[in-house]
Amino acid sequence: MNTVLITGSTDGIGRETARQLAGGNWRVILHGRSESRCRNTLEEIRESTGNREVEYLCADLSNQKEIKRMAQEISERFSSLNVLINNAGVFEHERILTTDGVEKTFAVNHLAGFLLTGLLLNRLKENSPARIINVSSMTHSSEMDFSNLQGEKHYSGYEAYALSKLANILFSFRLADRLKNDGITVNCLHPGVINTKLLDAGWGMCGTSVEKGAETSVYLASSPEVEGVSGRYFRDSRPCAPAEITGNRKIQDRLWNLSESLCGYSYDF
């Protein structure tokens, strides 16, 4: 039985991704900030799928200590991890600094996945072939202003979100290259314009169903068609081309080095 960890899986696309994979006889590790929401999601998925191999972990991904604690708990509780889906995301209209002094959108949407992936990398290697999937967006930015990466000069919720989604792709592509000989694939995706709380908070609009939104994540996690496929950006379960900047190695490395500095953590390759 394959094991998957899905961050931000008590609501929206993450919850539906968890439900579909549990229905496919996966062991699913849910994640959320709220104990009650985690417990309710666990019970609903177990009941609707008949799969008892569903567990949960609570952590605030805006807090790096919480991320480290969760990674340690995963290592202690679960002997296997085959797929990591960094799905959690936020949209903030105002500039908010986390307890670590980082702008919240950048912290949750990019740094949390960057840090958690690094902390779980050895466990994934132990269970290779393994897969890492980062949920990005077609709204990713086409340029990266490192002098305003955290809204230091001016803040716009839309710009902050677009930059964080660009960071997801840059991170995915660089990590894929670094893991090309380790039996771990790394891909990212646009889930679609989906009817979620984040879409409503950011754009005040409705989208298509969460069932549709989960399709590409489920495909990248489970399909034999993408076995060995790495360093690609997907939309509607098909590879497509993101912004040109995403292939810039200098930008990838600059973001990587900055991310390690902001997390106080260096990957051990």
Per-residue CA distances from 219 to 172, 179, 191, 226 (Å): 17, 21, 11, 8
Please name which of 77, 258, 79, 27 lies closest in space to residue 163, comparing C-alpha atoms. 258
Contacts of 180 (CB under 8 A, 6+ apart): 230, 231
* Annotation says 161 is catalytic: yes
Catalytic residue among 56, 161, 219, 233: 161
The CB density around residue 241, as the number of other CB atoms within 10 Å, is 10
Contact between 242 and 233 (Cβ < 8 Å) = yes
Contact between 217 and 85 (Cβ < 8 Å) = yes
Say if strands 54-58 and 27-32 run parallel, antiparallel, or are unpaired.
parallel
Structure tokens at 140: 């990713």
Q: Identify each DSSP E strand in the chain by its residue range.
A: 3-6, 27-32, 54-58, 83-86, 130-135, 184-190, 232-235, 238-240
Residues with a known catalytic role: 161
